[in-house]
């Protein structure tokens, strides 16, 4: 059956997956955004619903001081004897494990594991549990190391052992160990998470080695893909579905303009077969936008997403930069109120900003709100954000001359006011229409006609232009001020709708 990649679009990198019966659960990285580690569920591998987040108590996951693309990296999800386990790295704090019986419910407090390296993984092998990272025990060498642990406490039960050093591609990371038949397989990523990214594999008869490299490594890469539709494929997780078929979930990027992408790394699915006890990744070892695989359900069309402000509880799709300020948000009874803060996006702290990941290159994001600025510098509206110094703001702002509708562009040290005109009074409808090349900004006063005000190139929010950027664009509501103010942004509607290319 034919299906389209990515299976989870937008900023959803470093996927890991596990199966429980005929149900599939998947997690991805969240970096500086809170709550961390989104959890998805599917019955068919191609239609996914976010059901929660693993790191949802701000006091237990200190994100206040993390930099852009810092925070929580590269989770692994596994299930064993009725319990789900997720392990990941929190920058500057180390590796941790959280657990839950219900992945949609509340996850445990983090159990910290005294093991270095990043991209941790778990292997449940009989009555033993092994922990695996890219920690090097020999300075100057890239290595994958393994140790037995007590998964309940994080305590090490044995010595750390080096089990593999990769194929020399550099940036050896993202290890997963699997016990399949008579072999232990070690899957890893190499080449760095950019255009040289790849997945390599090795195997051994014993869990602690020695591991022999697959003669056909790398088993997945788009490094030499002349089509250039998909790039940067790597960092994956191997699994078997309930019908006996094998698959690989992995990250890759789609190109928006030239070699750039502002959505960042997304979650792809590629079929796997076996030859001579080695995994063979389909589509000639490349990620592809259109794939053929032994699926059992049709891929559904993407749906519009809309917040329900009659409910005080945040939908799981909402994210906030670092640790959201207490008292900055009030929701329920049909509206969401944002209280402006003097924290700006450039401050690399936590501005008043409630967002969702951009769902696709083509999408339309709308917000209906009322905002009455009280002081000069009061501002509220919609923002498209890649990083602290790469973002576009479209909002109502008070200046010395009065209230204006503005589009402000920030790309590192480049600042531009792309649009400025007197703002209408009363309720505003702001709209950001996105495609591969542009964000188009539109507004309406009340129920009036929609007016287009300007466009802004997607290139200035591309991950490649921003540099070492592991995230992707998010779009949401913001409220800021130059000094303390009692102005309030009251939002009646917020929705994001995919648009066909």
- Just list the catalytic residues: 14, 173
Q: What tokens appear for 353 in the block?
A: 């900003």
What is the spatial distance between Cα 472 and Cα 263, in angstroms, rounded to a whole number? Answer: 5
What is the spatial distance between Cα 321 and Cα 350, in angstroms, rounded to a whole number? Answer: 5
What does DSSP assign to residue 59?
G
Cα-based torsion angle of the residue sequence 487, 493, 496, 497 in order, rounded to the nearest 10 degrees: -150
Q: Are 175 and 207 in contact (CB under 8 A)?
A: no
Q: What tokens appear for 66 in the block?
A: 């993390």
> How many of the other CB atoms lie within 10 Å of CB of 499?
14
**Backbone angles phi and psi of 50, in degrees to 5:** -75, 130
DSSP 242-264: TTS-EEEEEEEEE-SBTTB-SS-
As a whole number of Å, the CA-based R_g of the chain is 23
Q: What tokens appear for 407 in the block?
A: 């589009």
Q: Distances in Å between the alpha carbon of 317 and those of 129, 269, 332, 354?
A: 32, 21, 17, 10
* C-alpha 480, offset from chain centre: 25
Strands lying side by side in the sheet with 230-240: 230-240, 246-254, 266-275, 278-281
- Of the candidates 166, 54, 61, 177, the one whose C-alpha atom is nearest the C-alpha of residue 124 is 177
What does DSSP assign to residue 218?
-
What is the spatial distance between Cα 302 and Cα 426, in angstroms, rounded to a whole number? Answer: 33
* Cα end-to-end span (Å), the chain: 22
């Amino acid at each position: 059956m034919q299906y389209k990649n990515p299976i989870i679009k937008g900023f959803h990198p470093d996927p890991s997956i596990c199966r429980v019966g005929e149900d599939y659960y998947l997690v991805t990285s969240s970096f500086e955004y809170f709550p961390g580690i989104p959890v998805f569920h599917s019955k068919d591998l191609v239609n996914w619903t976010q059901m929660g987040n693993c790191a949802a108590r701000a006091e237990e996951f200190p994100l206040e001081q993390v930099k852009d693309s810092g925070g929580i990296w590269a989770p692994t999800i596994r299930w064993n004897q009725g319990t789900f386990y997720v392990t990941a790295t929190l920058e500057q704090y180390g590796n941790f494990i959280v657990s839950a019986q219900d992945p949609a419910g509340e996850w445990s407090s983090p159990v910290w594991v005294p093991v270095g390296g990043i991209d941790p993984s778990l292997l449940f092998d009989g009555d033993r549990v092994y922990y695996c990272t890219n920690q090097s025990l020999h300075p100057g060498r890239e290595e994958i190391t393994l140790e037995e642990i007590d998964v309940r406490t994080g305590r090490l039960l044995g010595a750390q052992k080096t089990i593999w050093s990769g194929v020399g591609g550099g940036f050896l990371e993202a290890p997963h160990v699997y016990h399949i038949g008579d072999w232990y397989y070690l899957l890893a990523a190499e080449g760095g998470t950019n255009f040289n990214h790849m997945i390599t594999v090795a195997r051994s008869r014993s869990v602690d080695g020695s591991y022999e490299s697959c003669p056909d490594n790398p088993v997945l890469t788009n490094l030499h893909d002349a089509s250039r539709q998909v790039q940067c494929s790597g960092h994956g997780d191997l699994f078997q579905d309930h019908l006996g078929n094998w698959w690989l979930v992995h990250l890759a990027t789609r190109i928006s303009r030239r070699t750039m992408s502002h959505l960042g790394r997304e979650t792809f699915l590629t079929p796997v077969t076996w030859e001579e006890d080695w995994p063979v990744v389909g589509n000639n070892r490349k990620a592809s936008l259109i794939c053929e695989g032994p699926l059992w359900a049709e891929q559904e069309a993407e749906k519009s997403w809309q917040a329900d402000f009659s409910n005080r509880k945040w939908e799981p799709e909402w994210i906030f930069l670092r640790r959201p300020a207490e008292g900055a948000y009030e929701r329920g009874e049909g509206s969401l109120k944002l209280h402006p803060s003097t924290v700006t996006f450039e401050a690399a702290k936590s501005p008043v900003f409630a967002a969702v990941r951009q769902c696709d290159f083509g999408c339309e994001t709308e917000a209906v709100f009322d905002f009455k600025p009280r002081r000069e510098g009061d501002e509220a509206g919609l923002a498209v954000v890649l990083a602290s110094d790469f973002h576009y703001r479209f909002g109502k702002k008070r200046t010395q001359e009065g209230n204006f509708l503005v589009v402000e562009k920030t790309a590192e040290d480049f600042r531009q006011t792309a649009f400025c005109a007197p703002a209408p009074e009363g309720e505003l409808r702001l709209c950001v229409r996105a495609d591969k090349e542009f964000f188009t900004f539109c507004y309406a006063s009340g129920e009036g006609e929609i007016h287009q005000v300007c466009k802004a190139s997607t290139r200035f929010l591309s991950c490649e232009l921003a540099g070492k950027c592991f995230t992707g664009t998010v779009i949401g509501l913001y409220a800021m001020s130059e000094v303390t103010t009692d102005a309030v942004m009251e939002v009646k509607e917020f929705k994001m709708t995919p648009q066909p290319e």
